[in-house]
Amino acid sequence: MPALEIDAEDQRLIEAAGDALSRNFHPVRHTVGAAVVCRSGKIYTGVNIESCGYGPCAEPIALGAALTNGEREILAVVAVAQEGGGVAVLSPCGNCRQLLLDYTPEAMVIYNDGGRVLKARAKDLLPGAYRNLDEG
C-alpha cells in the first residue's frame, strides 16, 4: 500500500501528541510525545522515558496506555518532537515498527519522509519483518 496524505483527524492526533510532549517536556528525559487513537474514538498519549540503561520510546507508552484501558483496536499512531516552537512528526524507530506490527498491523502510522508528513499501515513500514511462526 502506498503512502497517503494526512487529513484533519491525523492533524488532531498530531496535536494530542504535541500536547502530551509540551506538558511533560524535559530536555534530557522526555523529548518525544506520542498519541494513538482507538476505534472507540479515545486518544491515549505518552512520552518517552529516558534512563541510563534503557528507555522506551513514546509510542509503546501510548500504546500501553490504550491497552491498559481495554482498547484493542488502534486506528492510528504518531510520534512528535519539539521543533522551533512547535512540533515535528517523527518516523518510528525499528523497534517501534516491530511493536506496531505485532500489536496493531492495520493501524495507520503517521511518519516523516524527508520533511513530508505521510501515513501508511504499520505492516507496510517494515518489509521482511520477523513474525512469530504461530502468527503466519
| CATH number of the domain enclosing 37 | 3.40.140.10
Range of the domain at 53: 4-125
Cα–Cα distance, 49 to 55 (Å, whole number): 5
pLDDT tens per residue across all 136 residues of the chain: 679 999 999 999 999 999 999 999 988 889 999 999 999 999 999 999 987 767 899 999 999 999 999 999 999 999 999 999 999 999 999 999 999 999 999 999 999 999 999 999 999 999 888 877 566 5
Q: Is 59 a catalytic residue?
A: yes
b/e code 81-114 from CB counts within 10 Å (16+ = b): bbeeeebebbbbeeebbbbbbebbbebbbbbbee
Shortest CA distance to 76 belongs to which of 12, 127, 2? Answer: 12
Q: Is residue 133 part of a domain?
A: no
Task: For the chain, state the CA radius of gyration.
Answer: 14
105: left (phi over 0), alpha (psi -120 to 50) or beta: alpha
The strand pairing partners of 76, in sequence order, are 37, 108
* Per-residue confidence (pLDDT) for residue 125, from 0 to 100: 94
| Candidates 59, 73, 83, 106; catalytic one | 59
Cα–Cα distance, 2 to 101 (Å, whole number): 17
* Per-residue confidence (pLDDT) for residue 29, from 0 to 100: 87
Answer yes or no: pTM beyond 0.85.
yes
* Per-residue confidence (pLDDT) for residue 118, from 0 to 100: 98
Q: Is residue 131 part of a domain?
A: no
Q: Is residue 90 part of a domain?
A: yes
Strands (E) across 1-136 are located at 4-5, 32-38, 43-47, 74-83, 86-90, 108-113, 116-121
Residue written as grid cell 501508511: 120
Residue written as grid cell 518525544: 32
State how many domains the chain has. Answer: 1
Q: Is residue 130 part of a domain?
A: no
